[in-house]
Amino acid sequence: MGTEAVEDDADDADTSDAHDAYDALLDRVRRWNTVGSAAGVLGWDQQVMMPEGGTPARSRQLSTLSSIRHEMITDAETGDLLDTLADADLTDEQAAVVREVSREYERADAVPRRLVEEISEASTEALQAWEKAKDENDFDRFAPHLQRHVELKREYADHIDPDRDPYEVLFEEYEPCLSMERTEAILDELRETLVPLIDAIRASDADLAVDTFEGKFPEDEQEALARDALDLVGYDFDRGRLDVSSHPFTSGNQFDCRITTRFDESDPLAAVGSTIHEYGHAQYALGLPQKHFGTPLGDDRDLSVHESQSRLFENHVGRSRAFWERFLPTFQEQFPETDDATVEDAYEAVNQVYEDNLIRVEADELTYHLHIVVRFEIERDLVRGDLAVEDVPETWNDKYEQYLGIRPDTDSEGCLQDIHWSHGNFGYFPTYSLGSVMAAQLYAAAEHDIDDLDDKITAGEFEPLQEWLAENVHQHGSRYETNELVKRATGEALSADAFTDYVEAKYGELYGV
């Protein structure tokens, strides 16, 4: 009996130690994620509000915050707490937190603080150089910054795992739960489906109403329209705001999530699509559990899941007949010159497949993924050392000609159009296509579970869809890894099947192919 009592006391002590260690770890995680959240606000400000001359100070501010956060993550106490919890009896939620923190700690611990600071400084300086290079069509202005990013990110990957493909290591920064092999297989499947479908569409004699919305549409009126769209889908302006930036993006958390868009006076439909895309990102962030702010349970799963939310709203909602049945009167109230347009005109216009579009963020739903393939192949070869920076413009143009049948006349509409490489975000682009695939699978499941979803959207009732996404995706934060999250929401592992079925049915009907 005495021995049993001693063993019970030991078990109680182990449980108490694990409980204390978990609470201490959670406190540390909240603190370093709060530092990261503050850096995010400064990053948003740099792209939206900061005067041009503020770059030197902002570079130092962001570098310092990155360094502080890195030191907090890699502190010896973090490693000791994770060691204590490695074999502890944890709840499923606690185990998920430890899994996610361990992954972050192991990667961060492998990278010296000096390199973290250099990457942050390089990103701040490269952003300003990229903006000027794009405005002036001057790739040579940006090239040294791109070269520096490539070298720094190769070094970064080498510190984490010198025996693996550096691009694969960097890809895991954005999608840690799906393998590069699985990702490439999905991209290959998309290419195999989309290339012949696009060819058939271009060879068809379908006469879509693609010229219905031609004209000049002032930016201030487009901004009012964008706000109308956000009001319709239910964006919470008490926890967010809409601004303009050179490249649309979303930044924030469940208490404060801000979106940006951009306007082209000749293309108001693009602004509506861009705004709804960013709304999807924001709705995900705003739907994360508030009580878990600053911990993995209150953080998004990864960029593939994030992109699934934006692509779901952009394509499955914003490009649907149901949406335009509801939104077209609002559009026409803002732009009376389009009063003759019908719902079918709007539906055809937002779903036309372009023959000559060079800009990814303005691409149609099908050719979009060929834009992604170009970027994926170029950044992969850059990181692997198979492509020199000075050869990027020509390689970009050649690939556009090969995959899309068009060739950019300028680098501004070519390899300088995206912001991602100014941040050194190599490995980001594949998540856009992964997100589209995931969006189709999630939306198909939502349609199955929600009666008459199209009718609800036409009636302006977005709550059932929002509640379904909140229950099946948002509320879980990073509790489940990507494939498990998708399987729980849809009953099936992630695959491209729902996406290929969706585009073949939709565009087959539109173009008669």
* Structure confidence by residue, pLDDT tens digits, 59-71: 999 999 999 999 9
Query: How many domains does the chain contain in total?
Result: 2
pLDDT at 507: 97
Q: Name the band, by pLDDT with cuts 50, 70 and 90, for residue 209.
A: confident
Average pLDDT over residues 456-468: 98
d(CA 73, CA 25): 10
Q: In this structure, are 335 and 482 located in the same domain? A: yes
pTM of the full structure: 0.92
Instruction: Say whether pLDDT at 281 is over 90.
Output: yes
Instruction: Say whether pLDDT at 262 is over 80.
Output: yes
Question: Which strand (E) or helix (H) includes residue 216?
Answer: none
Q: In this structure, are 140 and 197 located in the same domain? A: no
pLDDT at 362: 86
Instruction: Say whether pLDDT at 5 is over 60.
Output: no
Q: Do residues 396 and 146 touch, judged by C-beta distance below 8 A?
A: no
Q: In this structure, are 360 and 416 located in the same domain? A: yes
Backbone phi, psi, residue 53, to 5°: -75, 0
Instruction: Say whether pLDDT at 424 is over 90.
Output: yes
> Is 281 annotated as a binding-site member?
yes
Q: pLDDT digits over 122-177, tens only?
A: 999 999 999 999 999 999 999 999 999 999 999 999 999 999 999 999 999 999 99
Q: In this structure, are 167 and 185 located in the same domain? A: no
Domain final position from 131, 154, 171: 171
What would the two tokens of residue 399 be?
């690939």
pLDDT at 210: 73
Q: In this structure, are 216 and 271 located in the same domain? A: yes
d(CA 485, CA 464): 20
Q: In this structure, are 426 and 489 located in the same domain? A: yes
> Is 371 annotated as a binding-site member?
no
Average pLDDT over residues 343-349: 96
Average predicted confidence (pLDDT) for the chain: 95
Q: CA nearest 376: which of 399, 357, 394?
A: 399
Structural domain for 84, as ranges: 2-171
Q: Name the band, by pLDDT with cuts 50, 70 and 90, for residue 208.
A: confident
pLDDT at 421: 97
Q: In this structure, are 91 and 8 located in the same domain? A: yes
Q: In this structure, are 410 and 483 located in the same domain? A: yes
d(CA 35, CA 127): 21
Q: pLDDT digits over 19-52, tens only?
A: 999 999 999 999 999 999 999 999 999 999 999 8
Domain final position from 171, 203, 221: 171
pLDDT at 8: 54
Domain final position from 143, 171, 199: 171
278 is catalytic: yes
Q: In this structure, are 192 and 166 located in the same domain? A: no
Domain with residue 185: its CATH number is 1.10.1370.30
> Is 476 annotated as a binding-site member?
no
Instruction: Say whether pLDDT at 360 is over 60.
Output: yes
Q: Which of 104, 131, 278, 314 is catalytic?
A: 278
How is 362-425 classified by DSSP, letter by letter?
A: G--TTTHHHHHHHHHHHHHHHHHTSS-GGGHHHHHHHHHHHHHS---SSSTTTTTS-SGGGTT-
pLDDT at 117: 92
d(CA 412, CA 134): 5
Q: In this structure, are 125 and 254 located in the same domain? A: no
Q: In this structure, are 79 and 184 located in the same domain? A: no
Q: In this structure, are 161 and 206 located in the same domain? A: no
